[in-house]
Amino acid sequence: MPFSIDPVYILVLAGFVGFEIIKKVTPTLHTPLMSATNAISGISLVGSLVAAGSDHTTGQVLGFIAVTAATINVVGGFMITERMLKMFKKKERKA
């Protein structure tokens, strides 16, 4: 199977387009965007759990690595979302 540059070209192009789109999102809209990203990370966590349940040792090792990475991604995403939500809360004034 000969090497094709097309998948690499599509990956790089998608990266640049995604960066330009996200860069133009106003800060107010970042919180719902982060929530959607956390949902996608949760789906990848479920997929990595399925991979970790493989009968083959290689699949189990790769599944374990994927579960670890996806868990770190989900927890970090929720921590960042919580910090962003705290930024939008109004501070209580002392009387």
User: Between these two residues, 56 and 27, which has the higher pLDDT value?
Assistant: 56
| pLDDT of the residue at 31 | 67
Cβ atoms of 42 and 72 closer than 8 Å: no
Distance CA 83, CA 29 (A): 15
| pLDDT of the residue at 86 | 83
Domain boundaries in the chain? 26-88
Task: Encode pLDDT of 30-86 as tens digits.
Answer: 767 777 777 888 888 888 888 889 898 998 999 999 999 989 988 888 888 788 778
User: Between these two residues, 15 and 41, which has the higher pLDDT value?
Assistant: 15
- Which burial class, exposed, middle or buried, applies to 48 when counting CB atoms under 10 A from its CB (0-12, 13-18, 19+)? buried
